[in-house]
Amino acid sequence: MSTIPSFGLGTFRLTGQVVVDSVRNGLELGYRCIDTAQIYGNETEVGQAIAESGVARNELFLTTKIWVDNYSKAKLIPSLKDSLAKLRTDQVDLTLVHWPAPDNGVALEEFMIALAEAKAAGYTRQIGISNFNIELTEQAISVVGKNEIATNQIELSPYLQNRKLVEFLQGQGIHVTSYMTLAYGKVLQDPVIGAIAKRHHATPAQAALAWALQLGYSVIPSSTKRDNLSSNLLAQQLKLTEDDMAQITALERNGREVNPAGLAPVWD
């Protein structure tokens, strides 16, 4: 059974002093789950911000993701050990394979076994997948078992609800982590979400995040602004009505923001 915090701090696209400040502010405001990845190029800065925060390591939940260049058996664990050194920790809480990358020459079976070995060796407490469709998730399950896959981290927002995939994951007991929950800020301009937010004296970001949380997903929004980091956290206290939820559900438009050629699967 996965034990993944429902609310975390994303660090995608944040580098240098910007990510140091964002993580530092987040930790000061009470965030305890930090999401990074090898390809973000910011693990060193995330590690620095954590070290300087004074927050005890056992209070934190740290996630990183293995980049596609490191999927082979020979590279996966060494690359994770490199990530651990940058993050200044002996173990992360969750390690994901970042994209299925069906054409990159490493079989799914090879990298899932290597990921399971990383867990067995104690480099990560849990393992999971990211950006996997139903078919590839089934393949991953056949290699390591569904109970070993803590989450599938997928792009998921009011504009891209991925219902078929979500239904499959929940049926398997695999936790859903939503990234890009605000669709690069696009949903913040949505009049329906704006009206719901107004009724609750909330921000549009809080309304969209609360929608995802009420569906049982984890969210990992990022921000460079301390006020937004603080405001986003309050989404956890916002309770939307059934009618609010239905109105947001009706916003589905298959509005995918991230779909890199060669890395992404054929989506369900």
DSSP the chain: -----SB-EE-TT--HHHHHHHHHHHHHHT--EEE--GGGT-HHHHHHHHHHH---GGG-EEEEEE-GGG-SHHHHHHHHHHHHHHHT-S-EEEEEE----TTSS--HHHHHHHHHHHHHTTSEEEEEEES--HHHHHHHHHHH-GGGEEEEEEE-BTTB--HHHHHHHHHHTPEEEEESTTGGGGGGG-HHHHHHHHHTT--HHHHHHHHHHHTT-EE----S-HHHHHHHHGGGG----HHHHHHHHTT---------TTTS----
Catalytic (active site) residue 40: yes
Given 31, 40, 71, 159, which residue is catalytic?
40
**Catalytic positions, please?**
40
